[in-house]
Amino acid sequence: MVKRSKVEVAILGAGTAGMGAYRAARKHTDSLALIEGAHYGTTCARVGCMPSKLLIAAAEAAQDTRHADLFGVRTGGVTIDGPAVMKRVRAERDRFVGFVLEAVEGFPEAHRFRGHARFLSPHRLRVGDNHEIEADRIVIATGSRPNIPGFLKAAENRLVVNDDIFEWQDLPDSVAVFGPGVIGLELGQALSRLGVRVRMFGAGGAIGPIQDPEIRQCALDTFNDEFPLNPDADTRKIEHRPDGVAITFVDGDGDVVTETFDYLLAATGRRPNIDGLDIQNADLELDDRGTPVFDRYTLRCGDSHIFIAGDVNNELPLLHEAADEGRIAGNNAGQYPEVRAGFRRVPLSVVFTDPQIATVGKTIQQVDKDCRGCFAVGSVSFEGQGRSRVIGRNRGLLRVYGEHGTGLFMGAEMFCPAAEHIGHLLAWAAQQRMTVSAMLDMPFYHPVIEEGVRTALRDLNRRLSMGPEVVENCLDCGPGG
């Protein structure tokens, strides 16, 4: 027998965006359904941000020990206890997930529904096998899942995704990583530093989110000093074998070689969980990927009563963006038919490799398009940057972009130490629409890595068609502050 319910707002998915939407909608109505078809606990807590940073933290500890000789500190070598590494990763991961579960369990039980949701019509949902929910408004926040190209499936049971890694009881001897995106770079470098033999395969030449060609080359050279990374690999064959997975490819010398690895990690992006919703029954306009067309400021799908937030909309798959989108979508669903544009922050993303990667504001291609070519670029290499040399992390490049005439700071890309902190400073400046000269009026302490930002901004200010002449370098430290 089919059970039927009616609510004002139904939210599909209880991840970061879904919980944000629920909290926002609840300010306007208590007639709610929060529907989850899989596990409670966000992607970030279970298989994303937090467990990956735990693995990276272990890798950083190992790398710091290896490099202690630089400072005259003799350690006698590094021993990796794989089971201990993974035990801490799982324990701390479970702790973070526990906080999310507590939050969900704090929602009224009458609002919580378990089961896979599918559209029967624009206002009707089938949840599981025997429950039908009619909703005046709907928020789609079903997240995403790993995308696995078909040819990788030849690895059979040796094929893993990031979700699987955090369940390992021990570290393997070797892993082939396909996809030098955010996930592949973070996990691949961490595994390499923890003693795992890693080789990374890419397609099309991309390195993480980097768009600036000079920074991409700097990153490629740096990563290849640690493990082989070909961003445009010629992979000939993947074959499952009793002792692992054999990969045949063309190496840097043009020779066809075969290497065997314990596992093949598919870090080939994520795909939105839209395909199992019977979205065709929602009467929405879909793009060529099958995702509803929506307004990024209201999250509304066309002129409908349906909103879409978080990774499922396939725009900005980042936790802080999912939280913002959930809040905007939930508010609009709760107060519908009044729909308001929500506040969208300046883009900011960070990749927790070493050196770190960060992108702020507009990419160099977007600046070129928006400024119609009327922009300048300033840069700094961290090889000579004072504080970076002191701590032995003097590799990387920062490039900053400004508009001729207005002098506005437009964006930046970097592959450098402390990029997670530098990125925040520059994102705040971009959101405040600061000029480059105004940014140079801000205080910079000495000696800090952020002095490299000042050097890059000085270079940019000199190249812009406006702005006063300023001193080029810190006399005490040389190029880069």
Domains in the chain, ordered, with CATH?
A: 3-146+271-335 (3.50.50.60), 150-269 (3.50.50.60), 348-463 (3.30.390.30)
Closest CA to 17 of 443, 263, 327: 327
pLDDT at residue 467, as a whole number: 46
What percentage of the chain has pLDDT greater than the value 70? 97
Average pLDDT over all residues of the chain: 94
Between strands 244-250 and 256-261, the pairing is antiparallel
pLDDT for 100: 87
Mean pLDDT value of segment 275-286? 96
Averaged pLDDT, 366-378: 93
**pLDDT recorded at residue 43:** 79
Banded model confidence at residue 476, pLDDT cuts 50, 70, 90: very low
Residue 478 has pLDDT above 80, yes or no: no
Closest C-alpha among 313, 279, 283 to residue 298: 313
- Does the pLDDT value for residue 184 go beyond 60? yes
Phi, psi dihedrals of residue 36, rounded to the nearest 5°: -130, 125
For residue 457, the one-letter residue type is L
471 pLDDT exceeds 50? no
Asked whether the predicted pLDDT for residue 119 surpasses 60, the reply is yes
Q: How far apart are CA 115 and CA 20, in angstroms?
A: 20
Across 42-97, the runs of DSSP E, i.e. the strands, are none
Q: What is the pLDDT of residue 44?
A: 82
292-308 pLDDT per residue, tens: 999 999 999 999 999 99
Examine the pLDDT at 136 and tell me if it is beyond 70: yes
pLDDT at 48 over 90: no
* pLDDT (average), residues 451-465: 96
What pLDDT, in 10s, does the model give residues 229-253?
999 999 999 999 999 999 999 998 8
pLDDT at 38: 82
pLDDT of residue 470: 46
- 159 — pLDDT class (breaks 50, 70, 90): very high
Across 201-214, average pLDDT: 95
Report, as an integer, the average pLDDT of 359-383.
95
pTM of the model: 0.93
pLDDT recorded at residue 466: 73
Q: What is the pLDDT of residue 412?
A: 98
Q: Poorest-confidence range of 120-124, 187-191, 284-288, 476-480? A: 476-480
Where are the extended beta strands (E) located within 117-273?
117-121, 124-127, 131-140, 144-146, 159-160, 174-178, 197-201, 229-230, 235-241, 244-250, 256-261, 263-266, 270-272
Residue 91 pLDDT greater than 80, yes or no: yes
Residue 474, pLDDT score: 47
Rounded to an integer, the average pLDDT of 286-295 is 94
Q: Are 474 and 389 in contact (CB under 8 A)?
A: no
